[in-house]
Amino acid sequence: MCGIIGYAGHKSAANVVVAGLKRLEYRGYDSAGIALLNGGGSLLTVKTPGKVTELEAELGAMLAEKTEAGKSGLAIGHTRWATHGEPTQLNAHPHLSPNGNFAIAHNGIIENYLAIRDRLISKGHEFRSETDSETIAHLIEEAYEGDLQAAVVTALKQLEGTYGVIVISAMHPDTLVAARSGSPIAIGIGDGETLIASDVSALISHTKRVVYLDDGDVVTVTPDNFDIVSLKDVPVTRGATEIDWDIEEIEKGGFEHFMLKEIYEQPAALTNALRGRLVHKDQTTKLSGMQMGPADLAHIDRFIIAACGTSLYAGMVGKYYLEDFASIPTDVLQAAEFRDRNPIIQRDSCMLAISQSGETADTLAALREAIRKGATVMGLCNVVGSTIAREAGRGVYLHAGPEIGVASTKSFTCQVAVLAMMSVLLGRTRRLSAEAASRMIAELARLPELAQAVIDQEPSILSIAEKYAHCEHAFFIGRGYMYPAVLEGALKLKEISYIHAEGYHAAELKHGPIALLNEDIPVIVAVPESAGKAKTIGNMQECRARKSPVIAIATEGDTDIAAHCDDLITVPRCQEFLAPIPVVIAEQLFAYHVARLRGCEIDQPKNLAKSVTVE
Ligand code: G6P
């Protein structure tokens, strides 16, 4: 989703900001822009619909004439994911105030912008864009009396909604002001340079020392300093964090796409997610971030999982684990639904917010609602220091490493692994026997090897993808642990290949969707060794009777399946509860190759965003 970057320092700010915007591309966007200081005390903006490379070309042409601006050490940039108004040049950020002295870039949504706009128009203001964000630039200009930070604070106090905002002014050639309310902002502290970004991936090539703003913080930044105050003008101290991953981890490393790289990283990501957490000798797991001893764990009598997208499907697998192994009733809710339904939270309920990014607006809102209702809350996040992780205060990090491809891959498999470990831990405070836990732990330790075995099948998955890449519709079916796995498989395919794909419980197919089947609509059936296998084979026959080609994902060496399918993808033999991991990796590779063969933009699919920060 929208991304912000700002720079104050001794380098060419234009270059730093364009490079930062490229790092933010993975979030998903449809226009981009930059504002920088022009030599003679004025601001200059360049904005384009489309990709950052188009912005870079236009900026390059402009700077060839305006060489002073090219030397400027102050600039802000933005990638916009359209909400209010189409992705046009005029609607792209940064937005200038009417007199051109202030430029702002904004993430989030200003809910009362129409009222503010009407008031300003009645005072003679003219607006250039259709965006809610432009009002912020107008308000700052209106409030300015020589103190930039004070003007920003006055403007922000009039806003309702969410913002991560960054401001520069022609009158303050070495200053950036930024603020946060609901949309993340981090400060990167360098040597004689300070950066601000909505996402640390844009900072990491300059510095690993980062300070995160909290909601209500306003920061004023110069190349050598930063000062944080609250909206009430009270000084605020926030500690710095050292980022513990490297720039190489967010580069493609020879892979054609981040998505493929991240699929291939799964054995290593799973190793990291499991590291130090499987305690073989005590037949349990250790998840210190949950900050709960056995007595606290034993008190939890219900879980409510709230999440979106891929994280929601991982949560569905988690429900099965918590119920099957820890005997704890668990509800899984789409995060927006959790909040809209005004959920019943009982005293010993625990709410688990699952989010790779830790920034998804609906999941964050659900978490806050659960906190308000007095629930014990936990976060299951990948991004360290993300808002959900911080506000939950306790939980488990995935340690999957940075995930850049919009379509989530290694986060799903690590989420499932962590949920399995949670169910062992909770199960051991209940009726999960030491022997059963021991078997689960031994199987969890095999996960990296299981993941690698599926990745090794890539050539055969590619040849199956070649057969079906032309199709416009597909169904995915499965039952039991394979039900969430097929929902995720269908999501992966539609996200990146734009094929209409639907996941169904295998038994549900005959209650409607079967009416659509024909020879042009393949059905991908997840049918590894499991209690429900025989029934799913029956469903495969139903599909073939309607001429649909059937692609089975089945256990290696299983001789029952080949006769009932047109194509076969095999996954290694494992205990049933862990089969979602190899099966989903096979689905990821299938979706990836179908999308690649169709010439799709895999890492940044149209209309999608990596981190959805609007509700
Ligand atoms: C977006 C992404 C999905 C992701 C979902 C939830 O829609 O495109 O891939 O699953 O957000 O993201 P989260 O960061 O909360 O897991």
Dist. CA 342 → ligand 1 center (Å): 23
Mean pLDDT of 240-267: 88
- Bridge-based pairing of strands 241-242 and 209-212 is antiparallel
Percent of the chain exceeding pLDDT 90 equals 87
In a shared domain, residues 238 and 256? no
pLDDT in tens, 220-236: 999 999 999 999 989 99
Give catalytic residue positions: 2, 610
pLDDT in tens, 377-409: 999 999 988 899 999 999 999 999 889 999 999
pLDDT in tens, 414-461: 999 999 999 999 999 999 999 999 999 999 999 999 999 999 999 999
Residue 608: CB within 6 Å of ligand 1? yes
In a shared domain, residues 421 and 555? no
In a shared domain, residues 294 and 231? no
Question: Residue 60 in 3-state DSSP?
Answer: helix
Pocket test for ligand 1, best of 408, 493, 604 (most atoms within 8 A of CB): 408
Mean pLDDT of 267-287: 95
The residue written with tokens 């903006």 in the block is 45
In a shared domain, residues 227 and 344? no
Domain boundary among 208, 243, 278: 243
Q: What is the pLDDT of residue 346?
A: 87
Looking at 95-133, list the stretches that DSSP marks H as alpha helix, in order from N- to C-terminal side.
113-122
Q: What is the pLDDT of residue 25?
A: 87
Whether residue 316 has pLDDT greater than 90: yes
Nearest C-alpha to atom 5 of ligand 1 is from which residue?
309
Whether residue 611 has pLDDT greater than 80: no
In a shared domain, residues 505 and 578? yes
Which residues have a Cβ under 8 Å from the Cβ of 429 and sit 6 or more positions away?
Answer: 294, 297, 298, 326
pLDDT in tens, 182-229: 889 999 999 999 999 998 989 999 999 999 999 999 999 999 999 999
DSSP E strand boundaries for 182-300: 186-189, 194-197, 209-212, 217-222, 225-230, 235-236, 241-242, 278-279, 284-285
Nearest C-alpha to atom 15 of ligand 1 is from which residue?
355
Tokens of 615: 């509700």
Rounded Cα distance, 205 and 367, in Å: 32
> Taking the model in full, what pTM does it have?
0.83
Q: What is the pLDDT of residue 116?
A: 97
Element (H, E) at 317: helix 309-326
Dist. CA 311 → ligand 1 center (Å): 7
Per the document, the length of the chain is: 615
Contact yes or no for 304/331 (Cβ under 8 A):
yes
Rounded Cα distance, 602 and 497, in Å: 8
Residue 311: CB within 6 Å of ligand 1? yes
Nearest C-alpha to atom 4 of ligand 1 is from which residue?
309
Average pLDDT, the chain: 94
- The answer to whether residue 612 sits within a structural domain is no
Mean pLDDT of 247-275: 90
In a shared domain, residues 385 and 470? no
Dist. CA 199 → ligand 1 center (Å): 15
Residue 406: CB within 6 Å of ligand 1? yes
In a shared domain, residues 30 and 127? yes
Contact yes or no for 305/277 (Cβ under 8 A):
no
Pocket test for ligand 1, best of 27, 310, 333 (most atoms within 8 A of CB): 310
Residue 357: CB within 6 Å of ligand 1? yes
In a shared domain, residues 299 and 346? yes
pLDDT in tens, 584-599: 999 999 999 999 999 9
Dist. CA 533 → ligand 1 center (Å): 31
The residue written with tokens 């949950």 in the block is 290
Domain boundary among 243, 263, 279: 243
Rounded Cα distance, 494 and 486, in Å: 12
Rounded Cα distance, 84 and 201, in Å: 26
Residue 360: CB within 6 Å of ligand 1? yes
Cα→Cα distances 278→331, 334, 361, 570, Å: 26, 30, 32, 28
- The answer to whether residue 44 sits within a structural domain is yes
Q: For residue 35, what are the domain limits?
A: 3-243
Dist. CA 29 → ligand 1 center (Å): 15
- The answer to whether residue 607 sits within a structural domain is no
- The answer to whether residue 613 sits within a structural domain is no
Q: What is the pLDDT of residue 248?
A: 74
pLDDT in tens, 137-149: 999 999 999 999 9
Domain boundary among 243, 266, 287: 243
pLDDT in tens, 323-380: 999 999 999 999 999 988 888 888 899 999 999 999 999 999 999 999 999 999 999 9
Q: What is the pLDDT of residue 179?
A: 98
Atom of ligand 1 nearest to the CA of 408: 9
Show the CA angle centred on residue 313, arms to residues 309 and 314, nearest 5°.
110
In a shared domain, residues 128 and 202? yes
CATH number at residue 116: 3.60.20.10
Nearest C-alpha to atom 7 of ligand 1 is from which residue?
309
Count of structural domains within the chain = 3
Contact yes or no for 611/27 (Cβ under 8 A):
yes
- The answer to whether residue 473 sits within a structural domain is yes
In a shared domain, residues 40 and 132? yes
In a shared domain, residues 405 and 471? no
Dist. CA 253 → ligand 1 center (Å): 23
- The answer to whether residue 611 sits within a structural domain is no
- The answer to whether residue 210 sits within a structural domain is yes
- The answer to whether residue 380 sits within a structural domain is yes
CATH number at residue 290: 3.40.50.10490
In a shared domain, residues 116 and 208? yes
